[in-house]
Structure 1
Amino acid sequence: MFTLFHHPFCPHSRFIRLIAGEYGLDLKLVEERSWERREAFLLLNAAGTTPVMVDDEQPPIPGAAIIAEYVDEAYGAGMGPKRLMPEAIGERVEVRRLMAWFNEKFFEEVSHPLVTERIYKRFMSEENGGGPPSADVMRAAKANVRYHLAYIGWLAQTRNFLAGDRLTYADLAAAAHLSAIDYLGDVPWSEDDAAKAWYARVKSRPSFRPLLSEWLAGVPASRTYVDLDF
Structure 2
Amino acid sequence: MNTLYHYPLSPFSRKVRLCLAEKKIEVGLVEERYWEQGADFLRRNPAGKVPVLRMGGRLMSESMAICEYLDEVHPTPPLFPRDPEGRYEARRLVGWFDDKFYHEVTSKLIGERVYRKVMGTGYPDSANVKAGAKAIKYHLDYMAYLLDQRRWLAGNDMTMADFAAAAHLSCLDYTSDVDWHRHEVVKDWYAKIKSRPAFRSVLADEVPGFQPAAHYADLDF
Structure 1 length-normalised TM: 0.93
- CA deviation after TM superposition for structure 1 residue 63, in Å: 1.2
The structural deviation recorded for 1:86 is 1.0
Separation in 2 of the partners of 1:97 and 1:55?
A: 27
Q: Which residue in 2 is equivalent to 1:65?
A: 64
> What is the deviation of 1:54?
1.2
Q: Which residue of 1 aligns with 2:16?
A: 16
Deviation at 1:216, TM superposition (A): 2.2
How much has 1:56 moved relative to structure 2? 4.2
Which segment is superposed worse, 173-182 or 105-114?
105-114
Counterpart amino acid of residue 71 in structure 1: L
Q: Secondary structure at the match of 1:162?
A: coil
Q: Give the Cα–Cα distance (whole angstroms) in 2 for the partners of residues 158 and 135 of structure 1.
A: 36
> Match of 1:227, as an amino acid?
D
Q: Cα deviation per residue 1:112-148 (whole Å; 9 max; x = unaligned)?
A: 22222111222224xxxx1111111111111111111
- Structure 1 residue 153 displacement after superposition: 1.1
Match of 1:116 in 2: 111
Please identify, of 167-176 and 112-121, the stretch whose mean Cα deviation from structure 2 is larger: 112-121
User: Mapping of 1:61-140 within 5 angstroms?
Assistant: 61-76=60-75, 79=76, 82-125=77-120, 130-140=121-131
Higher helix share: 1
Counterpart residue identity of residue 83, structure 2: A
TM-score by length of 2: 0.96
The runs of 5 or more residues in structure 1 that have no matched partner are none
Structure 2: how far apart are the matches of 1:74 and 1:209? 24
* From 187, 192, 217, the counterpart of 1:196: 187
Code of the residue aligned with 2:150 in structure 1: it is R
**Structure 1 CA distance for aligned equivalents of residues 141 and 168 of structure 2:** 15
**In 2, Cα distance between the equivalents of 1:94 and 1:154?**
15
Q: Which whole-Å deviations, capped at 9, do the CAs of 1:35-84 have from their partners, x for residues lacking one?
A: 101111112211111111112432x21111111111012111xx1xx311
Q: Distance in 2 between matches of 1:153 and 1:13?
A: 25
Identity value in percent: 42
Unaligned runs of 5+ in 2: none
Q: Provide the alpha-carbon RMSD of the alignment.
A: 1.1
Q: Which letter does structure 2 place at the counterpart of 1:222?
A: A
Count of residue pairs the alignment pairs up: 221
3-state DSSP class of the match of 1:9?
Answer: coil
Contact 1:154 1:194 in 2 (8 A): no
